[in-house]
Amino acid sequence: MDCKDYSADHLVIMVNGILGSSSDWKFGADQFVKSLGDKVIVHCSERNVSKLTLDGIDVMGERLAEEVVEVIQGKPGVRKISFVAHSMGGLVARYAIGKLYRPPTTDGDSQVTICGLDPLNFVTVATPHLGSRGNNQVPFLFGVTVFEKAATSVIHWIFRRTGRHLFLTDAEKGEPPLLRRMVDDHGDLHFMSALRAFRRRVTYSNVGYDHIVGWRTASIRRDSELPKWEDSVSEKYPHIVYEERCKALNDENCVPISAEKGSFEALEEEMMAGLSRVTWEKVDVSFHTSRQRFAAHSVIQVKDHFVHSEGADVIGHIIDHFLA
């Protein structure tokens, strides 16, 4: 699904989450065009929908990369690219940009690009960057260790390869889980170089009532780093309760936790440290006073404008801060 202005030169790729479709971003795409229509061409990804979202983050990332190439080939006037992704779609987008990364030429005449385009915004909305395993990352399991261990054991029966990737149970042949590999450049997949190439990286996360993706994993924080938040920071954005700009950290600045090497805790810390090597804008969202709060995972995206309308200010915040 494309929303297009032929004079625009900025391609915005919107990516749906698990069991979703391109229509999940219809409201968001319409608002982008309404506000920035002379500057952006919005493409809602169509390649990973419904049961195809169970094929694994790597397979979906390859599909998305191929789709982006095809879209760019059909729009020779585009010069810039951004991604806006919901839930698991943020991980798929991270994989895809690793595939689409183009380093500068050896003669120094060109800059880093994503498939030949200038990378501007990489925005994730309720994305489980640290996976969905342990420490209340999936809130409907209530943080109960027994429930979380049981989910880890059976998740692949429900969500197939994607479930294994999300719950970090896909380590094999001496390789770490995919999400751990994605915090480094890995062979010809330049995951972190691609992420670093964007001028902005932004996480939007629900502080509560998101029963699918927990606050920590969506905002790439340790428990001790979760901020205290007020009811609202702005009348214009009543559901935005905290905003933070995080500087890039090097290995010396990262404070490691005490964890047994090879344990899940150590694995999560490695992902935290890896993703912290780039700057992030972190935006925290709360629907705790909303009648729609129990659907926060969908409301933050406005998946359905009639059912999830109270998230419209979050979409507005994304657009108002967008480099176009």
Q: Is the pLDDT of residue 108 over 80?
A: no
| Residues 193-202, mean pLDDT to the nearest whole number | 99
| 157, 148 contact by CB (below 8 A) | no
Q: Is the pLDDT of residue 204 over 60?
A: yes
Residue with tokens 């993706």: 213
CA distance 41 to 11: 5
- Triad 276, 104, 109: Cα angle to 5°: 140
Q: What is the pLDDT of residue 324?
A: 82
- Specify the fold of 2-320: Rossmann fold (3.40.50)
66 to each of 48, 70, 76, 114, 115, how far by Cα in Å? Answer: 11, 6, 16, 13, 10
| Cβ contacts of 252 within 8 Å, gap of 6 or more | none
For position 298, what pLDDT does the model report?
98
Higher pLDDT, 138 or 90: 90
pLDDT above 60 (res 118): yes
Quick one: tokens of 87? 């839930």
For 141-196, write each residue's pLDDT tens digit.
Answer: 444 444 445 444 555 546 669 999 999 999 888 899 999 999 999 999 999 999 99
Identify which has the larger pLDDT, 126 or 111. Answer: 126
Residue-averaged pLDDT of the chain: 90
* pTM for this prediction: 0.91
- Domain spans in the chain, listed from the N-terminal domain onward: 2-320
